[in-house]
């Protein structure tokens, strides 16, 4: 029977139903009233956590770690909800959560933190995370973290993972045009950036939540503070994209003419 050590990387992000306004200050860009906004676990990474918990459940002796870089206060609030969804061990880093950060610096710290997990077996490691991100990842941090851990087998846009009878991995990856690619991997270590997966959000389980919180609270108290280096990514300005809408009502044109006008308009932009 195969078993895995699964590390899920995730940050927290402001609730997307809130109005997010970028602001500039003397040090770095930020979001207006960010500390007042309700936060949630990065949605893409949340899917990967559910997939990791399901994989561990179906493969006894497997274990899941959630490595999260976020402000400790916000992470504490988010864990009150997430802890009831899946079984995991939290490894917390106290770090800025907004998207105006250098993903390579984040990847370096994540790789360093993952290496320091005492009982982690790198020969059984599956590194999970979001294919895209609503926080600092920019869709790149997970890939760079895998490279820094010397993991060459990487799969992005994953919708399904199946463990075959011989212990190899059958991975379903998204392609353009609504198609999927089936990839086979001999086994861990591997990096999987999840899209939406196939699993629904698990129901709340207070018993799982109580078990998780016994470990989560000490982990939050021991969260190592991490600040991004001064020579990391610099922003000269931040602003919301300008909305522009040109509407033209035309009758009796065939599709070829409409398509030609659209292409001509795009070339002028």
Asked if 3 and 62 touch (Cβ cutoff 8 Å), the reply is: yes
Average pLDDT, the chain: 82
For residues 233-248, average pLDDT: 69
Cβ pair 98, 30 in contact under 8 A: yes
241: left (phi over 0), alpha (psi -120 to 50) or beta: beta
Cα dist from 235 to 137, 169, 228, whole Å: 16, 41, 13
- Mean pLDDT on 116-144: 82
Question: Is 26 a residue whose pLDDT tops 80?
Answer: no
The yes-or-no verdict on residue 209 having pLDDT over 90 is no
- 3-class state of residue 169 by DSSP: strand
Q: Give me the count of residues in the chain.
A: 269
Bigger pLDDT: 21 or 203? Answer: 203
Domains of the chain: 5-225 (3.40.50.620)
Average pLDDT over residues 150-158: 90
- In this model, does residue 214 exceed pLDDT 80? yes
Query: Do residues 86 and 208 touch, judged by C-beta distance below 8 A?
Result: yes
Residue 231 pLDDT > 90: no
Residue 35 DSSP one-character state: G
Residue 29 has pLDDT above 80, yes or no: no
Average pLDDT over residues 167-177: 86
Give CA separation, 246 vs 31, 262, 266, 268, in Å.
Answer: 30, 12, 12, 13
SS3 9: strand
- Which of 136 and 216 is assigned the larger pLDDT? 216
Q: Is the pLDDT of residue 137 over 60?
A: no
Give the pLDDT confidence of 71-104 residue by residue, as tens digits: 888 888 888 888 888 888 899 888 876 566 778 8
Q: Where is mean pLDDT largest: 14-18, 29-33, 203-207?
A: 203-207
DSSP per-residue string spanning 94-157: E---SS-S-HHHHHHHHHHHHHT-TT--GGGEEEEEESS-SSTTTTTHHHHHHHHTT---EEEE
């Amino acid at each position: 029977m195969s078993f895995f050590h699964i590390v899920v990387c995730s940050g927290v992000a402001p609730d997307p139903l809130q109005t997010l306004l970028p602001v500039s200050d003397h040090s770095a860009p930020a979001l207006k009233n960010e500390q007042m906004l309700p936060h949630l676990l990065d949605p893409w990474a949340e899917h990967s956590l559910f997939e990791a918990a399901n994989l561990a459940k179906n493969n006894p002796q497997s274990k899941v770690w959630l490595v999260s870089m976020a402000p400790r206060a916000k992470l504490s609030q988010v864990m009150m909800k997430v802890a009831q969804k899946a079984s995991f061990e939290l490894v917390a880093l106290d770090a800025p959560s907004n998207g105006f950060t250098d993903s390579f610096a984040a990847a370096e710290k994540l790789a360093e933190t993952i290496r320091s997990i005492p009982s982690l077996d790198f020969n059984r490691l599956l590194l999970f995370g979001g294919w895209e991100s609503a926080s600092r990842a920019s869709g790149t941090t997970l890939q760079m973290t895998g490279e820094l851990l010397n993991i060459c087998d990487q799969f992005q846009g994953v919708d399904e993972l199946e463990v075959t009878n011989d212990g190899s991995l059958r991975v379903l990856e998204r392609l353009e045009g609504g198609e999927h690619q089936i990839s086979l991997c001999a086994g861990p270590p591997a990096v999987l950036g999840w899209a939406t997966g196939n699993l629904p959000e698990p129901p709340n389980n207070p018993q799982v939540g109580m078990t998780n919180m016994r470990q989560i609270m000490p982990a939050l108290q021991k969260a190592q503070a991490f600040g991004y280096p001064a020579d990391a990514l610099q922003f000269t300005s931040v602003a919301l994209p300008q909305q522009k809408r040109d509407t033209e009502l035309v009758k009796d044109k065939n599709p070829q003419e409409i398509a030609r006008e659209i292409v001509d308009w795009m070339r002028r932009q």
